[in-house]
Structures are given as C-alpha cells and as structure tokens.
Amino acid sequence: MIGFVFLLRLLVSIRPGAEALDNGLALTPTMGWLHWERFMCNIDCDKDPENCISERLYMQMADMMVKEGWREAGYEYVCIDDCWPSHQRDAQGRLQADPKRFPGGIKKLAEYIHSKGLKLGIYADVGKNTCAGYPGSLGHYETDAQTFADWNVDLLKFDGCFMDWTLLGEGYTNMSTALNQTGRSILYSCEWPLYEWPFKKPNYTAIRETCNHWRNYNDVDDSWSSIKSILDWTASHQDTIVPPAGPGGWNDPDMLVIGNFGLSHDQQESQMALWAIMAAPLLMSNDLRHICPRSKGLLQNRRIIEISQDPLGRQGFCTIKVDNFEVWERPLSHKRLAVAVLNRQETGGPRGLVIRAVPGWKICDPQCNVTQILPEYRELGVQPPKSKVVLSVNPSGTALVTLTPISSRFNMYELQKQETIL
C-alpha cells in the first residue's frame, strides 16, 4: 500500500515552504508546442525545406495553431529548441539566429507569432555549449537575457549541457535573475535537476524559487517504453518531486509525442491522461500540418485539459499498483478528484478494475457523481460507496474519470427542492 502511506504523508506535509518564482507566470501548467522531439536538429533546408529548423517551420505551426483550434484549446507557446543559432556570436557578443534559416531574425518571428495571439519560446544552455554544440550562455547570462527580452521572446528553455555540475545552481539562478532584471515577463523552463541527479539530490526548494518548470529525467522519445520509463521514474521519486509542484512551478516530464508514429491510440490516451494528472506542461512535439483527427481530438479534449489546468494546482501521484494496474490520482478544486487507471499488462484484452478499489474512492461517502472521460466520455451517474462500476481498460491504455463528492445535506436540499416543485 505505497499509496495510503504516501497519501497520508502528502496530506499532512506542509505545503511547499518554497515560494514559486515570483514572475506571475505558469500559474497553471504551460501549454504549447516545442520542436525538439519531432524535428530535432534538422538543419538541412536545401534537402528538407518543409521540416528543417527555420523561421518557416514556426510560422507554419503558428498558422496551424490558429486555424485548427489549438489556440482556442489553450495551446499558446510556439517554442524553438536547439540548433537555431549561428555558430558565432555577433561583434557585440550577442547570440544571433542562423542567417540562412532565419533571414528575418528572431525579433521579426516574435512579431509574427504575437500577431497570431501566440507567444514565442527560445532555447539556450547554462554551459559552454548547447547539447547540439551551438554557443552556450556561460559567461553571457546578462547579455543573452537582454537579447531575448529585446527580441520580445516570452519563454526560455535553458538546457544544462557542457557545464560543471557543481556550478549548475549558480548558473540557473543567475540566469533567472538576469531574466527578471530585463523587466520582460519571460517564462523560465529549466533542466537543472536532470543534470544534478547523477551527482546529488537536487534542492527543489531552490529550484521552485528559480524556475517555472524543470525537467527531472531523460528526454522523451516516440515510444511506449520511453513513456513508461518516465512514469516509473516519476512514481519512484514522487515523495520528493510532488510536494514542491504548484502554481508558478511544475515538474516537467517532457514533451507530448501524441500525433507522431510510435504510440498506439491507447498509449496516446495514456500519455495525455497521465500528463494531465501529473500537472505537467503540455508541450506537444508533433507536426500540426499532418496530424490525424483522432490524435488532434485527444490533444484538444476539453475535459482532459480542464484537469491539467485545474486552478488548485496540485500535482497528482501514483496511489496504488495492483494486479498490473496503476492508479494515479490528482486532487482538484471543489474537493473533486481525477483518477487515471493505467493497464500495465501488455498482453490479452481489456481488463476491469472495480472503481471502489481506487484509494481515493473513500471521498465517495455517502456518494459521488462519476464522469468517465477516457477511453470515452460517459456519465456514470451518482454512485454509492459500494458502487459496482467497473472501469474497463485496454492493454497499455488508461481509463480517466473524475469523482465529485455529493454530501448528504446537498441531497436533502435537492430532494426538498424537487418535492417543492412537485
């Protein structure tokens, strides 16, 4: 019963002593698009103009975000990852975009993105070089922060390659200060703990004070084994990483790869459900110009996004592993609970878990209204503590439900109301 002990510990634990980074941003998990997993470091615009890292790619994604309902669904940031800059800084020591692939420059690109009602993210590195070998920001934090502010950039993903690990804290903190001093609101996405874990347990109090979200674990790739490894790492470190998450600062399990090639539809549903339960940034890395309607529908599912963006801002966690099911639960505002039941058995057909086996089901006394969101939307109605509802889950799929407790007093009132009407 890892779940019960952990749940108790979490309930009595003091809310994060640490204050979030005080820039007023990321009060709910960031939503948007980030190029890395899908487009990587493709810089060959002669051979592959459609997919290379160039201003055209971000402009086209922004166009799609407006045209295809992504912006309306909440996806807001269009983010550049590695491989955008020129290999040389300019005469004033500033980073500059590769002139061939970004002929208009980043400022112009930001203007375009803003004209669509969206925001622009950029990428840099705390060390000497970026992971792909482009110039890093070490020794240039103020200059680079100011350059990004002058370009009207809205988010910085700050990587941790090519850096002495003992200086990571100092580097990430100095860049946070430098961004703040520009006076522009720039959301700060860090990878500090990911690079520190091999050497020491990161100080999440400091991280939360410094960053709006932070990567803890390996890069996601387009495979179910990658998603599983991220979930496993998260569950096995949840007592360290869940308490510090909240409005202004979130754990980042990396990009959504929904809409690509490697996940079955059930697995895509699992990623979407679990990322919402984990209060993770929803940064898609896919090709919005070519995406199947089913994946699009899943990524734009309003009921799942509502869980992700719940204003209470508590990260969910794994409460029980039983019979090859994992149950993950996230407390929501108005005393509601989101529950994801993941079927980890990858053989056979759909398997059922009776809803009263969910540890959080205890809030359903005297009763709960149950809404199923995945695999399909169904109102399961008002259920008593001894409910016989069984959630059926496909192999590597997830059933996602919300529980809304109904107090007896409320029912009496409802009953009286009905009687009066009658």
The residue annotated as part of the active site, out of 81, 159, 252, 310, is 159
159 is catalytic: yes
Q: What is the closest distance, in whole angstroms, from the C-beta atom of residue 293 to ligand GLA in the complex?
A: 28
Place of tokens 């934090």: 141
Q: Which of 219, 221, 222, 232 is catalytic?
A: 219
Q: Where are the alpha helices (DSSP H) in 278-386?
A: 293-299, 302-308
Asked if the peptide bond before residue 375 counts as cis, ω within 30 degrees of 0, the response is yes
Tokens 């799929």 map to which residue? 397
Report, in Å, the least distance between residue 33 CB and ligand GLA.
14
d(CA 38, CA 26): 24
Residue whose entry in the numeric block shows the structure tokens 């705390």: 126
Active site residue 81: no
Q: Which is nearer to ligand GLA, 130 or 147 (CB)?
A: 130
For residue 193, give the 3-state DSSP assignment: helix
Min dist. Cβ of residue 130 to ligand GLA (A): 6
Note whether 244 and 16 are within 8 A (CB): yes
Supply the minimum distance, in Å, between the C-beta of residue 36 and ligand GLA.
Answer: 5
Compare residues 191 and 287 and give the one whose CB is closer to ligand GLA. Answer: 191
The smaller minimum CB distance to ligand GLA, of residues 84 and 317, is found at 84
- In DSSP terms, 353 is beta-bridged to 391
Tally of CB atoms within 10 A around 46: 8
Encoding tokens for residue 345?
Answer: 């058995």
Q: Closest separation between CB of residue 63 and ligand GLA, Å? A: 24
Residue 84 vs 204, nearer CB to ligand GLA: 84
Residues that bind ligand GLA (CB under 6 A): 36, 81-82, 130-132, 159, 191, 219
Nearer to ligand GLA, 66 or 233 (CB): 233
Comparison of 191 and 209: residue with beta carbon closer to ligand GLA: 191
Backbone dihedral angles phi then psi of residue 418, each to the nearest 5 degrees: -65, -40
Phi, psi for residue 21 in degrees, rounded to 5: -55, 125
Rounded CA gap, 105 and 34, in Å?
A: 18
Shortest separation between residue 14's beta carbon and ligand GLA, angstroms: 31
With beta carbons less than 8 A apart as the criterion, state whether 253 and 230 touch. yes
- Listed in sequence order, the DSSP H helices in 264-316 are 265-277, 293-299, 302-308
Task: Compute the distance between CA of residue 219 and CA of residue 215 in angstroms, rounded to an integer.
Answer: 9
Active site residues: 159, 219
